[in-house]
Structure 1
């Protein structure tokens, strides 16, 4: 007897969607667990020792007058031979260290300095802490672009998994209230109904935030973020009157440097100015920093350059332009607490003062601010605030703050709970799969998807929306095409693989 004959169309549709949900879940759950665990690690490290030990504390002396930044920088430069200063990060609080990024012969260190005594407290290679290890796993699984692609694919398929999960639970409950509130089945003595209710009810609550995290996280990814979204969401360079290829002080040169260059590794051989002298006029046109330290919406926006007639209302012409005066100017124009100061690199480099929640500088993303100053004239070439971002840039600034838990302790706690719930949902999915596995020795091998042995027809009213979602996220449709080709060319021709996947 054909097992299909007793199945109603609604039952067949349910089983079809269930199988989609099952296969997507089996693929994405390991990635979701890795992302959740590494996110917990980053939350812990960023709120204890900080990134690059920026939360190291010092004793506040009786005289609370801080040493000149140039003196602090000079001592930081002394930790590496023939070093150059790349960046200064002001203390977060009155009892925390200042940070200096220094470079020498390809080695880059983050040096923590007591801002009152100018003594070096700690020196370590940049991006070498436990936070960065978690961050690198979270970003690309430590395998570069291949890992970035895998995580972006997992996030895309997670969206499909969420949509199918909503449908399945709606078919069981038929009301939003019943989907969100566990009923008497939770107390059922049977293990599987209990686990299923926890999985589905908790999933209903978490899925909305998970959907948001997938979208905001993929905006950092290489394909959907950089190629599809960020390319048309960048901040307009003309906002501050800088053409995409402005003339530099040397009229034979043009600059096409982008803001993302500030988050790239420093270009070796580009001399940086010493803390107490004017910057040299040779070397790279790029400012340098670390990954994800530039507001997302600015990364693909052309950098302004020094040596033009642009800008106004900056540092007074009679004041020498060096790190102490730029630091003082930053305070005068409203920068409070931790902020970052990138020194000009090369003849067209600019002083860049920045403060944003993505860099853990402060809590609120609406306080984002980036200021570029001409290294020769002291003119302000750009003063970019949150209000200057376009709509998607504002969404990303706020979304990243939620994603990273930088809005205060309440957001840290919320993110911790969210990560734990994601782990619970993923693990409970595997438990349900294991509990549902047949005990018959002949059928207990392979994945054993739902409704094994039933014919699962394509239900186009539901398949089309899923296909549209897949097309929106390129890595998902690429994965689907690859899987289809593997199924047609390899799996369908291998009895072993067919047995394994069924």
Structure 2
């Protein structure tokens, strides 16, 4: 949208100039959409797959089996013993049931393989087991994050997310009512329109409402990306381990608790060093003078407030710790304010660190809430809203293609991008948006600069190529 700083009073009244700026924004929207739309469809479809797989079966498969509640619950050590009889390997993790009707889960590593074992918590009987992270949820998650091509895929998606912000900003500029029309003409779709005009009206209206949430989805997703997230945003938002008084630290960070590309650790803790076992640091946890057993640590978790579902990571080596955690990102609960991570010395049972939502910095709190919202973990309303947003994104991507196809003359051997016409004065607001995008999202900025250089040095000097891309 133009501002006073963009135009002089005389120029601001010029419909020709206003039209030129409109077409410039449309042109940016068009080219950004060419790259972004396929990614948006992929992200929305895989997001829906993860959402419904987690809803119906559980992110870790915890809803696959149901049990009949009994008067007494077997000790967790008995349950673990049954699990290791099924898979004779090393127990890595215990996941407590969310409801009395759900099974307890144990993650067990055997060689290079990792399994989940479901156990009836009342009878300590194994209900079944499966390969960990090989289900539909995990396939969708890997496509969603890396396109199944690792780091290169992560970078492509990060670039698309950055251009997605450009798409939202230019889309809102195009959405703003003009030519004497009121807000009602764009807040409500004109269902009486026909053909391309109907598609345009639906695209405008749905795009406006979806954009209010799409920016949240894009930013919360970007914070997991390899460059903007891990190297740019997460680095200065990491929880400071110095807040743990006189606690020995490990060479490993919390990210070592993640499994492959699957994120299980709160965003703000990923780059924070883990505390180390083997000292008298910390405060009293399990009863002093008694062995620090699985049952003792689970009992401690219940005493300090971990009810219903929580996760317990076992010590992996001689300096590692027991880690009790609950966070919305891992589908443990529906309220980010309840996120909590507690580390316990494996030898003394003393609590070395206790980090909750209130201990996070501003960015960490925003991410805890943003990721929970992104994943639809905050209740039925969130589940419904994420479904609507994903379906809206798919519609916007498809309708953009349909509008282009209907506008494009039959047999045209070029893209038919919006044409600005003769050069005019600089659109300062638009230039600022592009500059801000380049500075805020480095990968997107690099690609934007590369495209501009290619246009200046190559595209406009090769007539067939210039025509095809115009």
> TM-score, length-normalised on structure 1?
0.87
Aligned equivalent of 1:408, options 372, 379, 388: 379
Checking the alignment, whether the CA contact within 8 Å between 2:47 and 2:390 is kept in structure 1 is yes
Partner residue, 1:328: 299
* 1:405-484 to 2 correspondences below 5 Å: 405-439=376-410, 441=411, 444-451=412-419, 454-455=421-422, 457=424, 458-484=426-452
How has the CA–CA distance of structure 1 residues 94 and 174 changed in structure 2, closer, same or farther, with 3 Å as cutoff?
farther
For residues 284 and 34 of structure 2, what CA distance do their matches in structure 1 show? 58
Number of paired residues?
456
For residues 370 and 414 of structure 1, what CA distance do their matches in structure 2 show? 28
Checking the alignment, whether the CA contact within 8 Å between 1:491 and 1:498 is kept in structure 2 is yes
Partner residue, 2:224: 220
For residues 31 and 465 of structure 1, what CA distance do their matches in structure 2 show? 22
Structure 1 position 495, deviation (Å): 3.9
Structure 1 position 92, deviation (Å): 1.5
Q: Confirm or deny that 1:237 pairs with 2:208.
A: no
Gaps of 5+ in 1: 1-5, 248-254, 266-289
Checking the alignment, whether the CA contact within 8 Å between 2:177 and 2:185 is kept in structure 1 is no
How has the CA–CA distance of structure 1 residues 346 and 305 changed in structure 2, closer, same or farther, with 3 Å as cutoff?
same
RMSD (Å), alpha carbons:
2.0
SS of residue matched to 1:426: helix
Aligned equivalent of 1:91, options 72, 87, 97: 97
Checking the alignment, whether the CA contact within 8 Å between 1:12 and 1:456 is kept in structure 2 is no
Checking the alignment, whether the CA contact within 8 Å between 1:341 and 1:353 is kept in structure 2 is yes
How has the CA–CA distance of structure 1 residues 168 and 456 changed in structure 2, closer, same or farther, with 3 Å as cutoff?
farther
Checking the alignment, whether the CA contact within 8 Å between 1:180 and 1:205 is kept in structure 2 is no
Q: Confirm or deny that 1:55 pairs with 2:63.
A: yes
How has the CA–CA distance of structure 1 residues 328 and 394 changed in structure 2, closer, same or farther, with 3 Å as cutoff?
same
Q: Confirm or deny that 1:168 pairs with 2:168.
A: no
Partner residue, 2:191: 186
For residues 106 and 174 of structure 1, what CA distance do their matches in structure 2 show? 67
* 1:98-117 to 2 correspondences below 5 Å: 98-117=104-123
Structure 1 position 174, deviation (Å): 7.2
Partner residue, 1:276: none
Checking the alignment, whether the CA contact within 8 Å between 2:93 and 2:107 is kept in structure 1 is yes
Gaps of 5+ in 2: 1-13
For residues 384 and 456 of structure 1, what CA distance do their matches in structure 2 show? 57
Q: Confirm or deny that 1:125 pairs with 2:131.
A: yes
> TM-score, length-normalised on structure 2?
0.92
Structure 1 position 456, deviation (Å): 5.3
- Deviation digits for residues 79-132 of structure 1, max 9, x if unmatched? 334x11111111121111111111111111111111112222121111111011
